Structure 1
Amino acid sequence: MSRIRASFYDPTGARYGIPTFWWRGAPAGYATVRQLRAAGLRPGGQPVAAQVLWRGVGGTRVAYLYRVDAAKPKRTATPAQLRAIDRALTARRTCSTCREVRPYYIPRSLGECLTCSTA
């Protein structure tokens, strides 16, 4: 069964309010948030420029599209933010009982490493 639905094709936006395309039918120059992220970009506060509609599990699905030419570069974390993330992830691997840093995240259900929980 074809995924293309003529009822989802509205390039002027007369029916849905914004330009609407079918599955894999969007013209060049539009991208989803995931596609922008893969290209090192972000929407940057721009409004939704178009949408893609298709029939999926549970009904009609939608993916919002943004203009690539209006997208901005992804922001990078500052050195202080990277240090804070590193400390937070290290804390998740540190056992509260034996204070050893494990190569895995400590299960929250146990509250301690696997060695301490079995002892």
Structure 2
Amino acid sequence: MSRIRAVFHDPDGSRYGIPTYWWHGAPAGYATRRQLRAAGLRPAGQPVAAQILWRGVGGIRAAYLYRVDLARPKRTATPAQLRAVRAALTARKTCPTCRTVQPYCIPRSLGECVDCAPGGPR
């Protein structure tokens, strides 16, 4: 084991407070939030079970790990939530000046569609 890896090897948590492993050194049964999401799971309110530390750009980086056996399936959006998201996206695409629904989100810097904005094509 290299010295860099040995610095971050603390499986009992005596040095860092929680079990700590090096990059690609965590045992099976732990996953990050992204790994859980890719598997269709969520942490479900469980505390951080372990961490991975490595040297990266800007210093020491950390990734928190959760136990896979305590994770629960992701919740699906209700039809009302999906309607609300659809309505919000439609509002972002509707020009307040000409009231047309554009195929893109209206830039907040302009406040209106590119056709209605000053200096736009007319």
Q: TM-score, normalised by structure 1?
A: 0.94
Partner of 1:31: 31
Whole-angstrom CA distance in 2 between matches of 1:34 and 1:3? 28
Tell me the distance in 1 between the aligned counterparts of 2:65 and 2:7.
18
Is the counterpart of residue 48 in structure 1 residue 31 in structure 2? no
Report how many residues are paired.
118
Indicate the SS of the match to 2:116: helix
- Residues 1-119 of structure 1 correspond to what in structure 2 (within 5 A)? 5-117=5-117, 118=120, 119=122
Q: Provide the C-alpha distance between the structure 1 equivalents of 2:20 and 2:85, rounded to a whole number of angstroms.
A: 40
Q: Is the CA contact (8 Å cut-off) linking 1:96 and 1:112 kept in structure 2?
A: yes
Give distance in 1, aligned partners of 2:69 and 2:97: 53
Give how far 1:96 is off. 0.5
Relative to structure 1, the CA distance from residue 3 to residue 90 in structure 2 (aligned partners, 3 Å threshold; closer, same or farther) is: farther
Deviations 1:72-114 (A, max 9, x none): 1111111101000000000000011111100000011111111
Partners of 2:7 and 2:70 in 1: how far apart?
Answer: 28
Q: Which amino acid aligns with 2:94?
A: T
CA distance in 2 between counterparts of 1:56 and 1:46 reads 27
Q: TM-score, normalised by structure 2?
A: 0.92
Q: Which runs of 5+ in 2 are unaligned?
A: none
Residues in 2 aligned to 1:111 and 1:16: alpha-carbon distance in whole angstroms: 49
In terms of mean alpha carbon deviation, does 65-74 or 2-11 score higher? Answer: 2-11
The alignment partner of 2:65 has SS state of strand
RMSD: 1.4
Q: Which runs of 4+ in 1 moved over 2 A?
A: none
Shift of 1:58: 1.1
